[in-house]
Amino acid sequence: MIDRTLQPATMVDSDHATVIEFAQRNARGSDERERAVALYYAVRDGLRYDPYRVDLSVHGMKASTALVNGYGWCVPKAALLAAACRAAGIAARVGYADVRNHLTTERLRENMGSDLFAWHGYTDIRLDGRWLKATPAFNIELCERFGLLPLEFDGRADSIYHPFDRTGNRHMEYVAMHGAFDDVPLQQIIDAFHVHYPNMPLENSAQRGDFMADAAAERAGSSAA
């Protein structure tokens, strides 16, 4: 029986040359846990989190596309971590949850019309016979600018969003879990976005601007007030 969590898929394209090279370069360690942890940090901090540039095409959602771009939002970054793990021989899949983000930017709230992030992506990694959640979305520089607690992953416990930021303000609230998949369930994500974000132009939802700069500016303004 084929284990799909070790096989390449359309968007979790672990057979892509750039993904294979990324995995070979970053999967360092003496065992699977150490290699999975190394890959987690390579994806978390090696790719800038950018929810302003969302491409809901098959190409735009591929792990390899995020890697080539050097940035991505939570869904392609989770797909990349899953793909890199598979390329390194570590079973992985992609998982999703609806989360309420209390600390996003005004520009993003206006574009979405909501603070609910539907189908937020994370990665499920199988280590020592257990599935562990790993969330590589927010790079360390963003966390520092936005005053967030960075998510760490040690390969022994789930790594999911903190409910509060460094100063005790509400951050992330998990609203619903959608489970794990062998590949990105693109049509389900698109259908959910049409329901939750009816005014967002999903065919071209990228918007101009610098998310990191906006996040830092809003935090500075809030602190000054």
For every residue of 65-94, DSSP letters joined together read HHHHHTEE-HHHHHHHHHHHHHHTT--EEE
Count of structural domains, the chain: 1
The H or E element spanning position 111 is helix 106-112
pLDDT at 32: 98
pLDDT at 198: 86
Domain that holds residue 186: 4-224
pLDDT at 110: 78
**Rounded distance between C-alpha atoms, residue 122 and residue 153, angstroms:** 12
Look up the pTM and report it: 0.91
pLDDT at 80: 98
Nearest to 63 by CA among 20, 19, 25: 19
pLDDT at 189: 97
Task: Indicate the residue type of 182.
Answer: D
**Rounded distance between C-alpha atoms, residue 28 and residue 37, angstroms:** 9
pLDDT at 212: 72
| 91's tokens | 């079973």
pLDDT in tens, the chain (225 residues): 789 999 999 999 999 999 999 999 999 999 999 999 999 999 999 999 998 888 999 999 999 999 999 999 999 999 999 999 999 999 999 999 999 876 677 777 777 888 889 999 999 999 999 999 999 999 998 888 777 888 999 999 999 877 666 776 767 889 999 999 999 999 999 999 999 988 776 655 555 667 777 766 766 655 544
Query: Facing residues of 95 across strands?
Result: 122, 180
CATH of the domain at 192: 3.10.620.30
pLDDT at 131: 98
Is 158 in contact with 168 (CB distance < 8 Å)? no
